[in-house]
Structure 1
Amino acid sequence: MFASFYRKRIRNSLFGKWILLFALIAVVSIVTLAYGAYSYMSQSVVEEVLDNQKKTMDAVGEEMTRTYEAAQAAVENLYRDQVLADHASFLLQHSFDEYIRHKLDSFYEQSGKGVNVLTYFDNWIDDHPSAEHLLLYSTDRQFLYAFKQQGQSRLIGAHAARSYIPDAMSLDAQPVGPPNAWLLKELGLSARASGLISFRVPISDKNTYKNIGQLLVFYRNDAIERTVRRIGGEQKGSILVLSAEGVVLYDSSGKYVGARHPDADILQSLDAEEKLKQRAYVNKLTNSQAGYTIVGIAPKAEVSEAYGGFRLVILLAAALSIVFVVLLPGALVVNYAKRTGNIIRFMRKVEQGELTPRIPDEKDDELGQIARSFNEMLDELSRYIDRVYKAEIRQKRTEFAALQARVNPHFLYNTLEVIRMRALSQGADDVAEMIYSLSALFRGVVRDKTVYTVKDEIEMCRLYLELFRIRYKDKFAYEIKVKPGTGSAETVKLLLQPVIENYIVHGMRHDSFDNLIEIEAYTDKENVVIEVRDNGTGIPEDKLQAIESYQKQREEESEGGSFGLRSVRERILLMYGEEGGLTVANRSEGGARVTLAFPFRKGEQGLHV
């Protein structure tokens, strides 16, 4: 029974194969999409958790930086006041009793306006509520002056013979770290219960730059706690602040504050996430200058709880999608079959030579696009046939005109030669020379040459200029310069003649005897450049602007300006496209300059030049 159904409905039916294939593809696609959606949503949740963690870490880093900079500012502001800096130096390099006498002497000398460095630090700790203790340590005298928030300041003796504090203060410790245990003991605090972070700033004598002591500020980490709660909220995992030795300065979970973290070595390594990737996501923010590291740890098991509910929803949606996608293909395939048959029917009409029918399908799906593309193809084909037909007619007219123009011109050459011989016999040598130049010029114009080079064009210009040199005698001269290798470049016939004619008609000074036109041809990289310079009247500014304006327009849109220059530009564009160009400008020393540029293309005949 199944075999019969398969033969009738699937094997011998193209649309049955489509339905089966579509169903298989749909099921595989839905399962794949469901898996992809689940992966995407779970990854989005992970990224959201990690982004929230990074923002919290950045905020903690900013809070730590502000605190560290505040401790540094306490010393920097001390240095800015010379009198206060001198008092601080005296205090740290003398006994406390000597400092008291020194302060009283200064008080009397300044008529009751003495400076008290102890008052400065007492006011500073009052201005910073998060600072629990401020310790001023003298390296030379080995005493410790302690200021306490909302408490009395006191002097603590720290002689090396009776205390470990000098040894602890002489250690090369990082600027930020846990408070020293001996200092905490002197203050009556324990490392685990304190919740304090130590910020250490060295103090030097302002005059000798000698290190004379240290300033230690013990901050409570409750400011960091408020920052974590404000930015991170109920975030997954924990935020740690580790010292360079791995001691936990702050822990949002409250487990390891004041103790060395069990994974400190791993967390401070470069590949911490790789080593902990089986159980946690790890982000790190290191301040190498201050010597602490902010670490964000998000256990994967804890993060996965955030997207566990997506799994059931995606499975249910995938099952419903599979049911609907198997029922709908039948109706869709029948509709596609009808529209496909309609397209085939119109294609057969075109195959039989009918170009007027159009497929009436306005839908925007693939078959609708095929129908519109087919209709557009027929429209373009009709226009192409029309263009080719008209082009053939124009081509035949052009060939007919060319044949008429190429009727044997020997009668004209013979006539000019008869006139020239007559002029010679009558002693009119200049007239004979002009007729010879005209005859040679005419031969060059009508000659059908496969490759026309710059050398040929320069020779045509020379013959043309020779006519006017004879005509104007001593009033006119010309110079032609062609750099080696330039004459073999292929070009367009009569490209320079309109430029020369434009000078003769409009730019020549007929009342002067020093009229000069120069033609120079050379190569610039891969281009041929031909400059035509004269010392004539130049081009009026309004006409120069008109020339620049119509050079930017299409030929059919440009009615004004010089027809000769316009024809030169249009022929350059037709021959070389946008690679060719023509520029017109006045010379500062008088006259005008016309520059033609086009790509260097070497003709076969140019090889023998």
Structure 2
Amino acid sequence: MFQYITDKIRGRRKRLLHDYIAIFIIMGMVLLLSFLIIGYIANSTTMEQSRNSSRVIYKQAREQLEQVEEDLQNMYMNVVKNDSVLAFLEAADSYERWEMLESVQGMVGMNRRINRNLENIIFYDEDGNLIFALGNVFLDKPELELNEMLNFSGRMWDEATKQACFEVGLPIYKEETDGYTLLGSAYLLFNVGNLQEIMDRALLNRDSAIAIVDGNGRAIVKAGQWEDYYGDFETALEDKKRLVYADYIGTTGWRIVNVIPKKALLTGAEQMRNITYVTFLAVVSMMIFLCAMLYKRIIYPISRQTAFMAGFTEDTHQRIEVLEENEIGEMAHKMNQMLDDIEKLNGEIIESNRKYLEMEYAKKQTEMIAYRSQINPHFLYNTFNCIRGMALYHGEKEIAELTMALSSFFRYSVQGEETVTVREALENLQRYARIIQYRFNGKHRVEVEASREVYLVKIPKMLLQPLVENAVLHGLETKVDGGVVHVAVSGTEQKIVAVVKDNGQGFPKETLVQLRQAMECYDREGTIPDDGHGIGFLNVYRRLRLFYGTAAEFTVESRAGEGTEITMVLPVGGR
């Protein structure tokens, strides 16, 4: 016996060890695959998020530059439409201009206080001669072909202050009765401080580059790792190495160009990937340690106890040897104590088994009687299938289809539990509809519709079909024209609504009153009056009340010659 138990233990230990190693390998592969998938998703997600973020930042920067252009347009209109400026340029000689100089200086000072980047306002007469300049920086007039819109220069450099600038020029006209007279031109000289701030804020990371370039592709202001050839980009593009955004800024003739290396978009993903690898190694190491401890402390002792239980049936007097002083050892002690108690109570168990067998014998007798009562339904169901097979053999498809529908309908009626899903009930209705279609040669039909949300809700069996059958037999059978029974089931999480409606003969008012009184009688007394009217209808009402109680609603509306509509509101989950 000892050798037998030892062989059992060794065999089970080997099988358990093999299963253990297989589980470990599968878990490792699942972990590795999970981390690879996480890394791929992290790359894709980070790339898409970075792309969206860069697009939003670029759009914001362009909108800020368009706002700068609008602000310059407003400032320029304040200058060229100023009465003091017009009078100053229209003056006949230098003496008159000297008298107006103070008001012009005031206007210049006010605009410089409004815009801290305004370095100078310079006026030229109609011949292009300098007549006024007031500011900290003065640069030669740029070569601009002035038109009626703002004209923006390219990048200009002031050696004295060592700063980049740009000028905005516009001709100044005086309105006359017969047209406009050119008085001269005005140039506003700005430093690029605010433009540089916009570019610095719009820089996505230190590896990307962004700049405002003039019509010649030269950078007016730039930030990041800018290369001169980036100024040639005029439209947005994307290749394997970089992502480029480029667009013109209003009517300035400038462009804002943003170049982002794709590897810079994946900086966050690379960090996440490194963290994932470290986490993977840590998890695998912990899993190996836990598996070793699990095998030593739990799996091996349990396998030894399992082997003991396998051999216990051959010698019920043996007891398991306790080797561990832990929970497993305590379980072995309890098992030995349980075996002692079992052996002590054998006499009582035998007596209880004798009484149990007597009860089982009586139960089997009852089941046999019930089984005999089912022979005829099963015989009829098998006969239907036989008829269907013969019809298919002889090519009578319609007979086969009708027999199949009748067979399935009959099987649904005699088998199964008391409750079915809405989907099963509707499928049974569709089989009944095919039978009705063949029976009345297509004259009458049954239409079924339901929302998918209620397909799995349980309802009492044979709740809808008797109502449909009642509508066909009493509402449509005597109808000369084609009749329709429409069944609609819908619902929410708390209730479902089932409506059975036909366009048949309907109930006379007196019959409808009698049916409603019969339902009220059942609610009061628990019995249905036996007057021979609406038995099938009232049986459905009785089953509805037995299953749901007063939580269900049942209403019927009918008029002679106009059809009948029955509505049932059922709570989800029974009572």
TM-score by length of 2: 0.45
